[in-house]
Chains A and B, each alone.
Chain A
């Protein structure tokens, strides 16, 4: 892995805030997210359904649905703010330097267009390739993602492929222009574990070959354990903990992260023993509590937690492990 000379992250998101228009007025759904991705680094973004993972990533390439708007923050990609780029600059980046794999292949593949043509489009647009060259490259990409008989498959329509194959076509599209950054939103969630293992293997392999940075969005903590370098844990639109993957699993510090890890059944569990679980459910958008977003479900909550919002601070004695929790931060100071 070649470290960049200036050590600046490839992607640097700061204070990203996203608001949604509801019947009761505007509501914040992503609240000041900070996230960095280094060159060649793979970052896992985990969190439960509705915590804002997809919207965060969609906002970076300015594909937010109607009524959802970025309210603040910056998102520098290779030194330029994606949130301030002109439409034409953005088109250069999207599908070019930043590749995307969306959550649902059926909604992001064009159902009436042959997959070969869908693969060729960005190559002709971003790479100025001739039609013949683009076709050759499309076949190569399909082979790369493990689709058998790519010369024939290139004329298939999306509905003629299995779910696993469609997902691989999506990944081929995300990779088409050798992106510097691949953003993959739950790329394997809809797939069976044996197919998931094939795809995870493929991305690991490609990332090494292309020295590509990857953001992998998922709700599956077990999946990212063997896949990413660093993890950002999201809860209700904020990053509550951010750490190298080994650190996070060995020393989870935020009460929510601890709760999540404890609620996953493990090999060593006694059969049919009760799982430890987190009571309650995440807040709905527009009903975020005033202080720490986790306070209504947190067993450690104190009065300060209901009053003010904790910010990410480094965990003492670690490099790159940060947590946003008053109690954890105080305990660390007391121990020091």
Chain B
């Protein structure tokens, strides 16, 4: 992993200003993403996990410049793309794609599947009108759908089939990088496995790089090269899959892993759980110091005042926690 990263995320911040009160009389700031740093390497699957509202999607949107970053940089092909306006962004749009959780709300209900998949091809001038049907057929075949689906409408498809169409549409641009934002979360278990396999096959075939946003840790463990754990807008820990699952260093990562049920009644009988108390605080008023200190079982005085630094404690293993020593072997 000595290679130059495909994408470099530096000190990325995204705040939303919202109006509160019955008459919107009070302004407040949602700290959705705060000072996030990570690299994404070509051909890898980097996952972001964490609880609802912790800023995973916002990181994905901001990184693709679909939402304006409050501050920070995202370097792609030598350019800080988050500083670009839509016109100058256009050449990069083709290479950076996203697939959402609920393809139904993102697929135009009045367009046929053929039109849905063909549209970005025409927009980016990747084929002529005459070449289009053949291209669409090939893309549908890539995602395991028969050519006859081209004349169908989104509502005639199952959830898994719609997700295949959304993936075909993203692939149509011949992208380098795809953000999969909870792309399999709404699917039934038996269909979920089909789509995971599809994503793995396509990655191998086209050398794709994924930012995989999910809350199902079993799935993340299965498909990721590296995993980042977010809590209340900040990265708590980032490591290779092996490091993170066998040697979690951050107290939040440990609690999160211990809360995931395993499909094994024998194991569950003897398993020691570490149950966190309390709810996730509001991102409108994140706790001072370490944002996890209100729920952390080992919080110290320092944690309530000082933001823990984001450090690489062993090669490839980053963590933000005052209690973790450099060189921590666990």
Contact = CB atoms under 8 A, between A and B. Distances in A.
Contact of B188 (A48, A195, A269, A276): A48
B261 interface: yes
A331 interface: no
A192 B252 CA distance: 13
A261 interface: yes
B279 A225 contact: no
A308 interface: no
A193 B160 contact: no
B147 to A, nearest CB: 18
Interface in A31-52: 48-49
Contact of B259 (A194, A220, A278): A194
B165 to A, nearest CB: 14
B199 to A, nearest CB: 10
A259 B190 contact: yes
A165 B190 CA distance: 31
A226 B275 contact: no
A226 B200 CA distance: 31
Contacts of B273: 197, 201
B222 A275 contact: yes
Contacts, number: 133
Contacts of A249: 263-265
Given A193-B260, A265-B218, A267-B262, A221 B189 contact: yes
Nearest to A198: B275
A259 B189 CA distance: 10
Contact of B264 (A163, A225, A265, A281): A225
B279 A260 contact: no
Contacts of B279: 162, 164-165, 195
A261 B189 CA distance: 9
Contact of B263 (A165, A195, A221, A274): A221
Contacts of B217: 193
A245 to B, nearest CB: 5
A275 B215 contact: no
Contacts of A54: none
B102 to A, nearest CB: 13
A196 to B, nearest CB: 7
A162 B110 CA distance: 37
A306 interface: no
B190 A260 contact: yes
| Chain A: number of interface residues, binned into ranges | 35 or more
B265 A223 contact: no
Nearest to A224: B261
Tell me whether chain A's interface is mostly helix, strand or loop, or mixed.
loop
Q: Which of A194, A197, A279, A281 has the most CB of B within 10 A?
A: A194
Interface in A244-292: 245-246, 249, 259-261, 263-267, 269, 271-279, 281-282
B269 interface: yes
Contacts of A200: 261
A163 B276 contact: no
A178 B257 CA distance: 33
A222 interface: yes
Given A249-B263, A249-B264, A264-B263, A194 B197 contact: no
Contact of A194 (B256, B262, B266): B256
A23 to B, nearest CB: 14
B160 A194 contact: no
Contacts of A195: 51, 279
Contacts of B265: 225-226, 245-246, 249
B222 A272 contact: yes
B191 interface: yes
B45 interface: yes
Nearest to A277: B193
Interface in B260-295: 260-269, 271, 273, 275-280
A219 interface: yes
Given A201-B273, A267-B221, A225 B262 contact: yes
Contacts of A260: 189-190
Contact of B261 (A223, A273, A275): A223
B215 A192 contact: yes
B192 interface: yes
Contact of B222 (A193, A227, A271): A271
Nearest to A297: B190
A266 B259 contact: no
A279 B268 CA distance: 30
A137 B160 CA distance: 46
A265 B190 contact: no
Interface of A: 48-49, 146, 148, 162-165, 192-198, 200-201, 219-223, 225-227, 245-246, 249, 259-261, 263-267, 269, 271-279, 281-282
**A-B complex: 7 closest residue pairs judged by Cβ atoms:** A226-B268, A277-B193, A265-B222, A263-B193, A192-B51, A197-B259, A48-B188
Given A222-B263, A271-B223, A281-B161, 17 more contacts: A163-B52, A165-B279, A192-B51, A193-B215, A197-B259, A197-B275, A201-B275, A225-B267, A226-B262, A249-B263, A249-B265, A271-B241, A275-B197, A277-B193, A277-B197, A279-B194, A281-B158
Interface of B: 45, 51-52, 158, 160-161, 188-194, 196-197, 200-201, 215, 217-219, 221-225, 241, 245, 255-256, 258-269, 271, 273, 275-280
23 contacts: A48-B189, A192-B52, A192-B215, A197-B273, A198-B275, A222-B218, A222-B262, A223-B261, A225-B263, A225-B264, A225-B267, A226-B269, A227-B268, A264-B189, A265-B218, A265-B219, A265-B222, A266-B262, A271-B223, A271-B224, A275-B193, A276-B193, A281-B188
